[in-house]
Amino acid sequence: MLKERFKHFVYRCILPYGGLLLIRLISMTYRIKIVDGQKEKEILESKNRLVYASWHQRFFPGITFFSTRKPIAIIISKSLDGEMIAKAVDILGWYPIRGSSSRGGKEALAKIKELARSDYKIGHIVDGPRGPFGVIKPGLLRIAQAGQLPVMPTITSAQNKWVFNSWDRFMVPKPFSKIIIRFGDPIQVPEDLTPDAFEAKRCEIEERLKVLYKETDDIWTRPEAVRTLFN
């Protein structure tokens, strides 16, 4: 019992602050270029709310960057690891909503609908927290439907990175790396969809993200394109 309490204390009171300090220090060294930023700007000016959709593998550069888009909320699982992450993003100014498909999903959707009506933006990891990698789960579409929010494909790509041996090959850009943050065309998800239409829309968004990630990653293979973009 004492061991369990200590573990919770570490995850809630020590690791979030230490991890966040490290994230901030590394993030300060990044050289970030925004591509197609007008797509995000147009949605924010017209609706002031949306769902940023990205892969779990690439969310590291966005932790601090998208905290500038306040008010912004994110769904985080009710696991112990989720407790640590929720505390860290809360410190940054995100609004953490606890829940997942296996636990608390209904309550999380209800909270997102409430926040969306209050002009919150939503950040969503489409294949988290445990994959499969690159496969969009139904939660993204349900969030968009619940709040009538456009889905904004949000792509992050780093020139130099560490790749971890995890289910998604999680990536952390190395200090001083060049980073691209790219926005795709917003995708509307109708509130009323048949099961077949829902699945077709899910596959459409999934394919759109895959294409955008590949196109963006390919920029690093073209030195002239990199020089043009960052000069």
CA dihedral in degrees (180, 181, 186, 190; nearest 10)? Answer: 120
Q: Which residues contact 135 (CB under 8 A, 6 or more apart)?
A: 127, 206
Q: Is the pLDDT of residue 177 over 70?
A: yes
The reported pLDDT for the residue numbered 80 is: 77
**Average pLDDT score, the chain:** 92
pLDDT band at 59 (very low <50, low <70, confident <90, very high): very high
Q: φ and ψ at 12, to 5 degrees?
A: -95, -30
Q: Is the pLDDT of residue 202 over 80?
A: yes
- Which tens digit of pLDDT belongs to each residue from 140-152? 999 999 888 999 9
The reported pLDDT for the residue numbered 12 is: 80
**For strand 178-183 and strand 31-35, is the pairing parallel, antiparallel, or unpaired?**
parallel
pTM, two decimal places: 0.92
d(CA 156, CA 186): 16
Q: Which residue has the tokens 């990698």?
A: 133
> Tokens representing 116?
């969306």
- Which tens digit of pLDDT belongs to each residue from 121-143? 999 999 978 889 999 999 899 99
> For the residues 23-40, what does the mean pLDDT come to?
96
> For the residues 25-40, what does the mean pLDDT come to?
97
- Which tens digit of pLDDT belongs to each residue from 62-121? 999 999 999 999 988 888 778 888 888 899 999 999 987 677 778 888 898 888 888 899
d(CA 79, CA 123): 19
